[in-house]
């Protein structure tokens, strides 16, 4: 619930929050899309990986003070470098998961691979909960609860950070698809065996997709803990982020990068706008109704377009 002076200011404030929430979803959705493009499956462990990523950030920044030992002074530089380092660590975790649990499953039914990620989710979630639940882990976000005002509309710095991170991630991915490896990934997405026959290393593509999406999940996990979405502390709720980002990726289409961006922003805005403008009906709709808006939007869209807005329809042959 946001209290702002005028209708326009309320709208701006809600839009800023909606786009930020959408940006988080888009970041996670981008990870889903990358993995789907490479391995044709959904990584249900994304949320748990995001939690682990946030935990890594806290470990690096607070407990081990690794970047702080060599880079002196500016807290922003220290903070950003530890987030990047944590994202890299999480990417390594993604690589390990891919190598140990996903690579041996090439050629197996896609459902089995998806269920393996569900199993991984259970494992990582347990470990993550155990790490963050009992002793709160601070992320020491340098801007804290601050923000700036447009008129009377309040825009938190967290939102700006999310916009920047999302923009960088998507631009990087669009550029990546122009590179040799990116083209290889598109070929793998199109037809794994044909790509293999062309001399493309499918394993390498798998590894890149898993590493990149784990890194993205870590960044999304850290940013989602920033105020006012979170409280600056790693919370177990981060795992829910990925399950709410699933509607976004389904809405956009599982294999479309632009779909992930648009789907993410749409779902984020739908959630935040309904939370803001339907707040008067909370007694009827129930507390926390905005959190299930993404699922309802997803159901409605799928009734009309079964492969999402930008997804490629599967060609069915006998």
Partner 1 sequence: MLGRPRLYTSYKAEAAIFPTWTQRTALVLLLLVAVLLPFSLPIINQLPIIRFIGDPEWIRLLTNAVIFGIAALGINLLSGVAGQVSLGHAFFMGVGAYTAVVLGGESSENLWGLGLPMWIWLPGAAIGAALAGIIISPCAVRLRGLYLGIVTGGLVFIGIHLAKVFPEISGGAEVGRQFPPLELKLWKEEEPIIDFSTDGHWLWFDISGNAKTYLFCLALLVIATVIAKNVIRTRTGRALQAIRDRDVAAEVMGIPEAKYKLIAFAGSSAFAGMAGALFASFVGKLPPETWDLILSVEFIAILLIGGAGTTAGVLIGTFFVVMSPRFVEDIADWMGGQASTDNPFSKFWDMIISTEPGDFGFISTGDIAPGFPLPVSSLDTLIYGTLVVLFLLFEPLGLYGIWIKIRNYWKGWPFSY
Residues at the interface with partner 1 (CB under 8 A): 41-42, 101, 104-105, 108, 110-116, 118-123, 125-127, 129-131, 133-135, 243, 246-247, 250, 254, 285-289, 291-292, 295-296, 298-299, 302-303, 306-307, 314, 316-318
- Contact call for residues 69 and 81 (beta carbons, < 8 A): no
In the complex with partner 1, the residue whose CB is nearer, 109 or 151, is 109
In the complex with partner 1, the residue whose CB is nearer, 144 or 313, is 313
CA-based nearest residue to 31, from 248, 297, 272, 196: 248
Least Å distance between CB 51 and partner 1? 14
Least Å distance between CB 75 and partner 1? 27
Residue-wise over 262-295: b if at least 16 C-beta within 10 A, else e? Answer: bbbbbbbbbbbbbbbeeeeeeeeeeeebbeebbe
Least Å distance between CB 180 and partner 1? 29
Least Å distance between CB 85 and partner 1? 21
In the complex with partner 1, the residue whose CB is nearer, 151 or 306, is 306
In the complex with partner 1, the residue whose CB is nearer, 178 or 317, is 317
In the complex with partner 1, the residue whose CB is nearer, 122 or 279, is 122
In the complex with partner 1, the residue whose CB is nearer, 6 or 133, is 133
Half-sphere exposure of 115 (CA within 13 A, CB side): 5
In the complex with partner 1, the residue whose CB is nearer, 12 or 266, is 266
Least Å distance between CB 63 and partner 1? 11
Q: Torsions phi, psi of 201, nearest 5?
A: -80, 100
Give dist(CA 48, CA 139) in Å, integer: 17
In the complex with partner 1, the residue whose CB is nearer, 73 or 286, is 286
Least Å distance between CB 36 and partner 1? 8
CA-based nearest residue to 17, from 143, 148, 154, 170: 154
Least Å distance between CB 1 and partner 1? 19
Least Å distance between CB 5 and partner 1? 32
In the complex with partner 1, the residue whose CB is nearer, 104 or 144, is 104
Least Å distance between CB 22 and partner 1? 18
């Amino acid at each position: 619930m946001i209290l702002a002076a005028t209708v326009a200011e309320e709208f701006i404030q809600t839009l800023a929050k909606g786009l930020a929430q959408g940006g988080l979803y888009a970041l996670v959705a981008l990870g889903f899309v990358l993995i789907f493009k490479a391995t044709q499956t959904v990584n249900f462990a994304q949320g748990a990986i995001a939690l682990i990523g946030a935990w890594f950030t806290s470990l690096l920044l607070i407990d081990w003070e690794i970047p702080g030992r060599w880079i002196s002074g500016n807290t922003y530089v220290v903070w950003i470098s530890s987030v990047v380092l944590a994202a890299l660590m999480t990417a390594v975790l993604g690589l390990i998961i891919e190598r140990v649990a996903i690579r041996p499953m090439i050629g197996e039914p896609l459902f089995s691979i998806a269920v393996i990620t569900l199993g991984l989710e259970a494992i990582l979630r347990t470990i993550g909960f155990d790490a963050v639940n009992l002793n709160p882990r601070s992320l020491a976000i340098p801007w804290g609860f601050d923000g700036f005002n447009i008129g009377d509309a309040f825009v938190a710095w967290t939102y700006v950070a999310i916009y920047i991170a999302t923009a960088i991630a998507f631009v990087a991915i669009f550029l990546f698809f122009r590179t040799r490896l990116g083209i290889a990934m598109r070929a793998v997405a199109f037809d794994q065996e044909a790509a293999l026959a062309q001399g493309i290393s499918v394993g390498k593509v798998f590894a890149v997709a898993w590493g990149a999406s784990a890194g993205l999940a870590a960044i999304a996990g850290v940013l989602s803990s920033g105020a006012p979405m979170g409280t600056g502390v790693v919370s177990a709720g981060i795992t829910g982020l990925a399950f709410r980002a699933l509607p976004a990726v389904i809405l956009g289409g599982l294999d479309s990068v632009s779909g992930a961006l648009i789907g993410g922003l749409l779902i984020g805005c739908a959630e935040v706008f309904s939370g803001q403008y339907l707040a008067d009906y909370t007694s009827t709709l129930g507390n926390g109704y905005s959190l299930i808006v993404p699922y309802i939007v997803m159901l409605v869209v799928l009734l009309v377009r079964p492969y999402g807005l930008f997804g490629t329809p599967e060609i069915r042959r006998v």
